[in-house]
Structure 1
Amino acid sequence: MQIVDKFAEDYAVGQVRQTLGRTITEADVVLHAGQSGDFFPHHMDERWCVEEAGLGGRIAHGTLIIAVAVGMTAGDVNPQAMSYGYDRIRFIKPVLIGDTITVTAEITAISDHPRRPELGRVDELVTVTNQRGDTVLSLVHLYVVTKRGES
């Protein structure tokens, strides 16, 4: 992990980051079920998923995939930025146990913070794909970022 100061002025619309892959395991799903309390059969009951729901297998929690995807893009720590939230979260296709996901993050907008002139806001479109190239999740990650020279 690298610590890098990156100010609002250092971002540019169109900048793209791409991660390596990460395979979602049964341990990931079971641990997330325990942490979240979500033990729905979609995540925990293989027989139900295949025979009754026709899902092809147990699926990972959407909230698990959000957490993993955001974590996959967090390799560099920027002391000048903080997550401001997430918009337009869409679970497009299910992620099955054993699927490998990759993440692309693209800066789509940069603006001034509406109430704090020392901050900018950066919007990053996060797209998660599986090993077949199918988009499985999309969201916009919002950041507030310190402007250079105005701390």
Structure 2
Amino acid sequence: MIVEEFFEDYKIGFERITFGRTITEADFIIHAGQTGDHFPHHMDAEWCATQDFGQRMAHGTLVFSVGIGLTASTINPRAMSYGYDKMRFLKPVFIGDTIKTRASIAEKTDHPKRNTHGFVREAVEVTNQNGDAVLVCDHLYFVERKTPLD
């Protein structure tokens, strides 16, 4: 779906919650192959059985990729991702866990040099099936203004 929202249209506090996505063993294998991260924490079930968590845990970058991907349901040609800040992996995600993402508009700021654009900060929280936060970060958007500042 395409939406055209200008900087002025974003409302502080607006929140969206995604559908869930169950993390599978195939996700672990594909992600390890794509990234080269074959650490035993993700790939060695026998070794993990001897560790505190007792089972393989998802790559943090896998949880991030899927969690953010869940929010990609609309295209706004007036905005682009400027990056992510303050990312933290709070709890492990295991095979069979279902994650979903809550994204809330937290802040809007003027661009320091461009009067035609501003920044929108979206607070992102990825949770598991128990409602526990497993990842948090800020997503920054670079957004066109309807009316340039003077």
TM-score range, shorter chain: over 0.9
C-alpha distance in 2 between matches for 1:48 and 1:63: 21
Which residue pairs with 2:143 in the alignment?
A: 145
Deviations along 1:60-118, whole A, 9 cap, x unmatched?
Answer: 10011111111100100101110001110000000001100011000100011112211
| Cα offsets for 1:109-150 (capped at 9, x unmatched) | 001111221111000000011001111000000000000145
| Counterpart Cα distance in 2 of 1:29 and 1:117 | 44
Alpha-carbon separation, structure 2, partners of 1:116 and 1:71? 29
Unaligned runs of 5+ in 1: none
Question: Could you tell me which residue of structure 2 aligns to residue 125 of structure 1?
Answer: 123
What is residue 96 of structure 2 aligned with on the other side? 98
Instruction: Return the alpha-carbon distance in structure 2 between the equivalents of residues 19 and 134 of structure 1.
Output: 15
- Choose the corresponding residue for 1:59, options 49, 57, 66: 57
1:18 Cα deviation after fit: 0.4
**What aligned pairs does 1:74-89 form with structure 2 within 5 A after superposition?**
74-89=72-87
Q: Give 1:32's aligned residue.
A: 31
Q: Alignment partner of 2:109: what SS?
A: strand
TM superposition score normalised by structure 1: 0.95
Give the structure 1 partner of residue 13 of structure 2: 14
What secondary structure sits across from 1:106 in the alignment?
strand
1:45 and 2:40 correspond: no
Which residue identity does 2:31 align to in structure 1?
A: H
Name stretches of at least 5 consecutive residues in structure 2 with no aligned partner.
none
**2:91 & 2:111 partners in 1: Cα distance?**
33
Q: Between Structure 1 and Structure 2, how many residues are aligned? A: 148
Once the two structures are superposed, what CA deviation does each residue of 1:14-67 show, in whole Å capped at 9, x if it has no partner? 00000111001111111110111000000000111112x221311110011111
Give the TM-score taking structure 2 as reference length. Answer: 0.96
Alpha-carbon separation, structure 1, partners of 2:114 and 2:36 = 37
Partner of 1:3 in structure 2?
Answer: 2
Q: Distance in 1 between matches of 2:49 and 2:140?
A: 37
